[in-house]
Amino acid sequence: MPPFLLSQRVYIEDTDAGGIVYYVNYLKYMERARTEFMRSLGYGKGALFNVDLMFVVAETQIKYLKPAKLDDELAVSSEVLSVKGASLLFRQQVSRGRDILCAGTVQVACVARQSLKPTRIPAEMLAQLRRTNGE
């Protein structure tokens, strides 16, 4: 399955005084792409809030390659690299045209809402996520 893509415009609140995207905003763009990817599979926030689990970022590895600027149209990709019982590893990129601006991996853990302890991803969701990366 090809990576999920989300279009993202750079607004003034995303930039520093020089009109360059502030580094932490790339993580926000990636979060939006992961959220919309899950929504595309039928797991919007409403579906997740009906069960006693949530997903939290456990680890990120990000490489900043080129700056995004005010008013740029970006493509943010999200692709599942691996699925384990209670975690997912995503590969994500932020691009402008053919230029990759930022790339990395984000590990997301499934936790119980009340205890915040790791919990298994529900079987149906797990199977669907594994299908997205050919497992």
Spatial contact of 26 and 102, defined as CB atoms under 8 Å apart: yes
Instruction: Sort residue 61 into left (φ over 0), alpha (ψ -120 to 50) or beta.
Output: beta
Over the chain, what is the mean pLDDT?
93
Please tell me the predicted confidence (pLDDT) of residue 18.
Answer: 93
* Average pLDDT estimate for 22-27: 96
Domain boundaries defined on the chain: 4-132
Q: What is the pLDDT of residues 68-110, one digit of tens each?
A: 999 999 999 999 999 999 999 999 999 999 999 999 999 999 9
Please tell me the predicted confidence (pLDDT) of residue 73.
Answer: 98
Please report the DSSP string for 69-90 in residue order: BTT-EEEEEEEEEEE-SSEEEE
Q: What is the value of pTM for the model shown? A: 0.92
* Average pLDDT estimate for 49-75: 92
Please tell me the predicted confidence (pLDDT) of residue 87.
Answer: 96
Closest by CA to 74, choosing from 38, 92, 100, 105, is 100
Please tell me the predicted confidence (pLDDT) of residue 49.
Answer: 63
Using 50, 70 and 90 to split pLDDT, how confident is the model at 8?
A: very high
Spatial contact of 66 and 84, defined as CB atoms under 8 Å apart: no
**Which positions are catalytic?**
16
Q: Which residue type, as a one-letter code, is found at position 113?
A: R
Return the CATH architecture of domain 4-132: Roll (3.10)
* Average pLDDT estimate for 112-124: 92
Q: Which residues are CB-contacts of 44 (< 8 A; sequence separation ≥ 6)?
A: 38
